[in-house]
């Protein structure tokens, strides 16, 4: 269902709508989404291009509802997967009510930021907010300099807001500002719903997040995860989860498994804790590593992996 269809029939008693955050990879978009939702619905990592799908996080308030669409970072694509991720971002940008452009306080505004800010001309319907993230990691002079740089990028910012998702500084200001820019209408999701992600997808992302930790720079882009089976054991609080970690080459498979399987056990231990928190049961996690040659460039493999 499209954003426009979902809005059909809404009244005028409250405000609600769709917002997405854009910026270079690793500027803190997923961390910001999680902080606003109040629950982890998008995985985070220091590795670029961690987010691969449009993940919806829902913020319900007494005066309205924000549906945050967390998207991949905009980047110059090197593979078919990269092209499809950029296409996904463009599709989301064309359908939301508010776009939040993110720049970290710790880094000077560069050519990539300028290119993304200029590209927002292509989405005239959406209102734009500039957000300076990670102010907890910068000093006052850096924050001031970044605010001036960001403010100069466009003349149509509805607001320019410095904040920290980590320490929650100014999160309420951002939430208030975004909601004020939304169209009038009732909530789009029932109260208490924080995401429309399926259980399988959330589990796959938890496993991928665990697999990303500590891997070499070239490997993160090659990792995908597929949940093969989930089954609750009868007369037990144990859930069996079986999943495949997919890589592109045999050498990458060896890295994921590690010496005598040590690294794969570590991945399983980290992922199991997150899955148990999500499911509310104890979990037996069976992980299998398999190779799908050059899957990022293969349309058939991409379809099988959900891209």
Going by the annotation, the residues of the binding site for GTP are 23-30, 70-74, 133-136
The structure tokens listed for 265 are: 């056990």
User: Which residues are bridge partners to 65 per DSSP?
Assistant: 16, 60
Whether the Cβ atoms of residue 194 and residue 34 lie closer than 8 Å to each other: no
Q: How many residues does the chain have?
A: 307
Residues in the annotated binding site: 23-30, 70-74, 133-136
Going edge to edge, which strands form the sheet with 98-104? 55-61, 64-70, 15-22, 98-104, 127-133, 157-162
Tell the burial category of 291 from Cβ atoms under 10 Å away from its Cβ (0-12, 13-18, 19+).
middle
């Amino acid at each position: 269902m499209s954003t426009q269809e979902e809005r059909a029939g809404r009244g005028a008693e409250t405000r609600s709508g769709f917002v997405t955050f854009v910026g270079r990879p690793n500027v803190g978009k997923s961390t910001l989404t999680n902080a606003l939702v109040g629950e982890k619905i998008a995985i985070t990592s220091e590795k670029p291009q961690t987010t691969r799908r449009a993940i919806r996080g829902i913020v319900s308030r007494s005066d309205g509802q924000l549906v945050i669409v967390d998207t991949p970072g905009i980047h110059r694509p090197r593979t078919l997967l990269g092209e499809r991720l950029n296409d996904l971002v463009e599709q989301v940008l064309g359908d939301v009510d508010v776009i939040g452009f993110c720049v970290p306080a710790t880094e000077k505004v560069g050519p990539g930021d300028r290119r993304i800010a200029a590209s927002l001309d292509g989405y005239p319907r959406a209102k734009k907010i500039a957000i300076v993230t990670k102010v907890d990691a910068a000093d006052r002079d850096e924050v001031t300099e970044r605010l001036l740089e960001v403010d100069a990028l466009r003349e149509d910012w509805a607001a320019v807001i410095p904040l920290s998702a980590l320490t929650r500084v100014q999160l309420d200001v951002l939430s208030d500002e975004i909601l004020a820019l939304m169209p009038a209408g009732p909530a789009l999701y029932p109260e208490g719903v924080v995401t429309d992600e399926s259980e399988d997808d959330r589990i796959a992302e938890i496993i991928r997040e665990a697999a990303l930790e500590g891997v070499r720079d070239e490997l993160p882009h090659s990792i995908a995860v597929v949940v093969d089976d989930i089954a609750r054991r009868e007369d037990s609080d144990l859930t069996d989860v079986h999943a495949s970690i997919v890589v592109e080459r045999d050498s990458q498979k060896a890295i994921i498994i590690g010496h005598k399987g040590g690294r794969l056990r570590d991945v399983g231990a980290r992922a199991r804790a997150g899955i148990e928190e999500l499911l509310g049961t104890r979990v037996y996690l069976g992980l299998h590593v398999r190779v799908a040659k050059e899957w990022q460039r293969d349309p058939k493999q991409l379809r099988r992996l959900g891209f």
